[in-house]
C-alpha cells in the first residue's frame, strides 16, 4: 500500500474529485458520490452508486443481491491509503455508552474521523488488522454519511472486511449477535440510543468487543487519551459503498458486505424462545397485541419477527418505518415519550399486551391492559418464570444481576431461587465480565434495559418475547371463552409471593452542569458526615455512601457510581448524574420502598413514595442548585 502524508482535508477524500494515475499514466477523474442528508421524515433510502461514477482505475468487484442475484469477480489489487493531518478536538471523553453529542458537533470537519482513528490507535493491531468488523446503527440522521467515513478509515487502518447492515441499519442487540455469530473482531454502533434524532438533535458512536459487549473503561479511557494527541487520520481512497443492496463490494484486499440486519438476530431468537408457544398466543382471537417501534430501528425487525414468524397482524405494529428523526418523536419507551402507546393501552377497549422499544432497540417498555410494568419488576418476573417458560433457561439461570439504582425486586428472586446475585454500576458493560465468566444469565436496569447472556447487550425485543412467552405459558391450556391470565395477574401474583418494591425515578434533563455537579458534591459532603441511626424525617439511616464496585472477575474498581441513602426499613434514595445525554447534565433521583403487605400492593406508586420523594428533594437542595421545580420525566 502507498501512503500519502500531507495536509489533505478528509472531506475532500470523501466527497470531492478523486485523481489517480492509471496504468497508462493518464489521469482519471470522477466525482465520488456521497450520501446527502435525507428529508427528516422520509423512509431511509440510500441512492444506488452508479458503476459509471466509480473511477475506473479503482479495483473493485461486486456481488449484489437486489432484484436478482449476480456475481462479478475481479482480480484484487492494493488500495491507496492517505494520511490526513488533523489536530485534537475538545469534548471527546467517551462514557458508558460511547460518545454522544449534538449531530452538528459530529458534522464538524474531522470530529468523527478523529474519534474513529483514536479508537484504532487504542487497539492492539492484532485486534483488527485483516480482521472483520461489524457496522450498524439505528437509522438516525447522519448515520449514512458516518458509515462511509467509518468504512474508509477502517480500510485505511488495515481492517480486512466490514459487515454492514442494509441501509446502515442494525439494532444494538443485533450488532452484538452478529459479532458473536460471525466471530468478528468487534463492531461499531451508530446510535444515541433513546435520545432524539435529526439535524438539531443527537448522534452517537460506540465500539463493541469481539464478545459483543461494549468496550471496557480501559479502552474508552485510551480512546479519550488518544483524541488529545491525534495528528493524523489514515483513510482509504475508495468510493462510497452502496448500502441499498445486499452483497459484497471488494476494493483490493478490503471488502464490504452489506447484510440483512435481521436474519442472524432472528435465528438467535428462535433458538432462545419457543416460537410455536408464542404463536399460539398471538393467533388467539381473544388476545390482542400491539408493538410500537417508535419509528426507530426495531421497525425493521417487527414485521419479520412478530408478523411473519409469530402470526401477529400487521396492523398490530405501529410507527414501524424507521425514520431519520423518529417521526419528530423522542424514541424513549417510557410513560412520557411513548404516550401514544400508553393512551391506547389505557383506553376502554385497549389491547391485552403492549410493548415499545427505543432508538437502537436495546430498551423496552411492557404494558398490560391499563397496567404498567416497571422495568425493575419486569426483570424480576422474567427471572422468576424463565426456567418454565423459556427453553434457553430450561436448566435454570446461572445467576442474576441488576444495576445499583434498580429496585431490589430481583434480589428477592435470587434469594428464593438460591442463585448467585450481583449489584453493579449503571452501564451494561459491567454485566459482560460476569456473563463471560459463566456467573450471570439474566440481568436488568431500571432504565428500561433487560437482557441475558444470549448476547452482551440489553435487548428490547428479547424482553418482549420473554414476556409473551410467560403469558403464553400461563395460558397454554386455556380454551376460548375462559379468562386468560393477564399481564397484571402475573405481576400481582409475583408481588403476593415476593412482596412489592415501590419504585420511581425522577429525571431532570439538560440541567446546567455546574449546578448539577455542585448538588452532587453537596450530597457527598452530607454522606461523609452521616452516621447509622441518624433520623431523616420518619426514616432511620442504615448507611450512606457513594457506590463503589469491585468486579469479582478481574478485580477492576469503579468508584463514585451514585450517592445512596439506605434506611433500616429497606427504603432507598439514590442520586446520579447520567452520562447518556448529549448536552448539559441529567440528574436522576431514584426512590424505593419495600412493602410486604399484600393489602397495600394496589397503592399508587407516587402516593406510596411521596414521603421519600419529598425527603430526596429536601436533602439534595435540587431547586437551590439547579432552579428546577419539576422533573422532565417521571417513571
Summarised one tens digit per residue, pLDDT across range 385-429 is: 999 999 999 999 999 999 999 999 999 999 999 999 999 999 888
* Secondary structure, 3-state, 522-566: HHHHHHHHCCCCCEECCEEEEEEEECCEECCCCCCEECCCCEEEE
Higher-confidence position of 49 and 13 = 13
Q: What is the pLDDT of residue 581?
A: 56
> What grid cell was written down for 79?
488500495
Q: List, for residues 504-546, the tens digit of each pLDDT value.
A: 999 999 899 999 999 999 999 999 999 999 999 999 999 999 9
Q: What is the pLDDT of residue 8?
A: 35
CA dist 562 and 424 (Å) reads: 11
pLDDT above 90 for 331? yes
Binned at pLDDT 50, 70 and 90, residue 579 comes out as: low
CA dist 383 and 396 (Å) reads: 9
How far does CA 47 lie from the centroid of its chain? 27
Least trusted range by pLDDT, from 147-161, 257-271, 488-502, 578-592: 578-592
Q: Judging by beta carbons within 10 Å of its beta carbon (0-12, 13-18, 19+), is residue 603 exposed, middle or buried?
A: middle
Nearest one of 206, 503, 472 to 378, comparing CA atoms: 503
Read off the DSSP letter of residue 33. P
Read off the DSSP letter of residue 267. H
Q: What is the pLDDT of residue 578?
A: 82
Least trusted range by pLDDT, from 72-76, 254-258, 291-295, 479-483: 72-76
Q: What is the CATH number of domain 500-634?
A: 3.30.310.50
Where do you find CATH 3.40.120.10 in the chain? 3-261, 270-498
CA dist 466 and 625 (Å) reads: 42
The active-site residue out of 191, 193, 571, 582 is: 193
How far does CA 94 lie from the centroid of its chain? 15
φ and ψ at residue 357, rounded to 5 degrees: -135, 170
Fold of the domain spanning 270-498: Alpha-D-Glucose-1,6-Bisphosphate; Chain A, domain 3 (3.40.120)
How far CA 616 is from CA of 151, 309, 504, 603, in Å, comes to 48, 47, 12, 20
Give the list of residues 6+ apart from residue 616 with CB closer than 8 angstroms, or none.
Answer: 506, 573, 575, 589, 591
Q: What is the pLDDT of residue 21?
A: 29
Higher-confidence position of 27 and 306 = 306
Q: Judging by beta carbons within 10 Å of its beta carbon (0-12, 13-18, 19+), is residue 590 exposed, middle or buried?
A: buried
Where do you find CATH 3.30.310.50 in the chain? 500-634
Nearest one of 334, 310, 306, 309 to 318, comparing CA atoms: 306
Task: Assess whether 193 carries a catalytic annotation.
Answer: yes
How far CA 371 is from CA of 11, 293, 601, in Å, comes to 51, 19, 13
Fold of the domain spanning 3-261: Alpha-D-Glucose-1,6-Bisphosphate; Chain A, domain 3 (3.40.120)
CA dist 480 and 164 (Å) reads: 45
Binned at pLDDT 50, 70 and 90, residue 22 comes out as: very low
How far does CA 182 lie from the centroid of its chain? 20
> What grid cell was written down for 385?
418464570
CA dist 612 and 101 (Å) reads: 34
φ and ψ at residue 89, rounded to 5 degrees: -125, 145
Q: What is the pLDDT of residue 77?
A: 54
**Mean pLDDT of all residues in the chain?**
88
- Write 105-108 long-range contacts (CB < 8 A, 24+): 106/142, 106/146, 106/203, 106/205, 107/142
Q: What is the pLDDT of residue 97?
A: 78
192-221 average pLDDT score: 93
pLDDT above 80 for 313? yes
Amino acid at each position: 500500500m502507498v501512503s500519502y502524508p500531507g495536509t489533505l482535508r478528509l472531506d475532500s477524500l470523501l466527497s470531492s474529485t478523486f485523481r489517480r494515475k492509471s496504468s497508462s499514466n493518464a489521469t482519471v477523474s470522477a466525482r465520488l458520490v456521497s450520501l446527502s442528508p435525507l428529508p427528516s421524515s422520509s423512509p431511509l433510502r440510500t441512492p444506488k452508486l452508479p458503476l459509471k461514477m466509480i473511477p475506473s482505475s479503482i479495483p473493485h468487484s461486486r456481488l449484489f443481491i437486489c432484484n436478482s442475484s449476480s456475481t462479478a469477480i475481479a482480480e484484487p489489487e492494493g488500495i491507496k491509503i492517505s494520511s490526513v493531518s488533523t489536530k485534537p478536538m475538545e469534548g471527546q471523553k467517551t462514557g458508558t455508552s460511547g460518545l454522544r453529542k449534538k449531530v452538528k458537533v459530529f458534522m464538524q470537519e474531522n470530529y468523527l474521523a478523529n474519534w474513529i482513528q483514536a479508537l484504532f490507535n487504542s487497539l492492539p493491531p492484532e485486534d483488527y488488522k485483516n480482521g472483520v468488523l461489524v457496522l450498524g446503527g439505528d437509522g438516525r440522521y447522519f448515520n449514512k454519511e458516518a458509515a462511509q467515513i467509518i468504512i474508509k478509515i477502517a480500510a485505511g487502518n488495515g481492517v480486512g472486511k466490514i459487515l454492514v447492515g442494509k441501509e446502515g441499519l442494525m439494532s444494538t442487540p443485533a450488532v452484538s449477535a452478529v459479532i458473536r455469530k460471525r466471530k468478528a473482531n468487534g463492531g461499531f454502533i451508530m446510535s444515541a440510543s433513546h435520545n432524539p434524532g435529526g439535524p438539531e438533535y443527537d448522534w452517537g458512536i460506540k465500539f463493541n468487543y469481539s464478545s459483543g459487549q461494549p468496550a471496557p473503561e480501559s479502552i474508552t479511557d485510551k480512546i479519550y487519551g488518544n483524541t488529545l494527541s491525534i495528528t493524523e487520520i489514515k483513510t482509504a481512497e475508495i468510493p462510497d459503498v452502496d448500502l441499498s443492496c445486499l452483497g459484497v463490494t471488494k476494493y483490493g484486499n478490503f471488502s464490504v458486505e452489506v447484510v440483512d440486519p435481521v436474519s442472524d438476530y432472528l435465528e438467535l431468537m428462535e433458538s432462545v424462545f419457543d416460537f410455536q408457544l408464542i404463536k399460539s398466543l398471538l393467533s388467539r382471537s381473544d388476545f390482542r397485541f400491539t408493538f410500537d417501534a417508535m419509528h426507530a430501528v426495531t421497525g425493521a425487525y417487527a414485521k419479520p419477527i412478530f408478523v411473519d414468524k409469530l402470526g401477529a397482524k400487521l396492523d398490530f405494529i405501529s410507527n414501524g418505518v424507521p425514520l431519520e428523526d423518529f417521526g419528530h418523536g423522542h424514541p424513549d419507551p417510557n410513560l412520557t415519550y411513548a404516550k401514544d402507546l400508553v393512551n391506547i393501552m389505557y383506553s376502554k377497549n385497549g389491547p391485552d399486551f403492549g410493548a415499545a422499544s427505543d432508538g437502537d432497540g436495546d430498551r423496552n417498555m411492557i404494558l398490560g391492559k391499563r397496567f404498567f410494568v416497571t422495568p425493575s419488576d419486569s426483570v424480576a418476573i422474567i427471572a422468576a418464570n424463565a426456567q418454565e417458560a423459556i427453553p434457553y433457561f430450561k436448566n435454570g439461570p446461572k445467576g442474576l444481576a441488576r444495576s445499583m439504582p434498580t429496585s431490589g425486586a430481583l434480589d428477592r428472586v435470587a434469594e428464593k431461587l438460591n442463585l448467585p446475585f450481583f449489584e453493579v454500576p449503571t452501564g451494561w458493560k459491567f454485566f459482560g465480565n460476569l456473563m463471560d465468566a459463566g456467573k450471570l444469565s439474566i440481568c436488568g436496569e431500571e432504565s428500561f434495559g433487560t437482557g441475558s447472556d444470549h448476547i452482551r447487550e440489553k435487548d428490547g425485543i428479547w424482553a418482549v418475547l420473554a414476556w409473551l412467552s410467560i403469558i403464553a405459558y400461563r395460558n397454554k391450556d386455556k380454551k376460548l371463552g375462559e379468562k386468560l391470565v393477564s399481564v397484571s395477574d402475573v405481576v400481582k401474583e409475583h408481588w403476593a409471593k415476593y412482596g412489592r418494591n415501590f419504585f420511581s425515578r425522577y429525571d431532570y434533563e439538560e440541567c446546567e452542569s455546574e449546578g448539577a455537579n455542585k448538588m452532587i458534591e453537596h450530597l457527598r459532603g452530607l454522606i461523609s458526615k452521616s452516621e447509622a441511626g441518624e433520623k431523616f424525617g420518619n426514616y432511620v439511616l442504615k448507611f450512606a455512601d457513594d457506590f463503589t464496585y469491585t468486579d469479582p472477575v478481574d478485580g477492576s474498581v469503579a468508584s463514585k457510581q451514585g450517592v445512596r441513602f439506605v434506611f433500616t426499613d429497606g427504603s432507598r434514595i439514590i442520586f446520579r448524574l447520567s452520562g447518556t445525554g448529549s448536552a448539559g447534565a441529567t440528574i436522576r433521583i431514584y426512590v424505593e420502598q419495600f412493602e410486604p403487605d399484600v393489602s397495600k400492593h394496589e397503592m399508587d406508586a407516587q402516593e406510596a413514595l411521596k414521603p421519600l420523594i419529598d425527603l430526596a428533594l429536601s436533602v439534595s437542595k435540587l431547586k437551590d442548585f439547579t432552579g428546577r421545580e419539576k422533573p422532565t420525566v417521571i417513571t
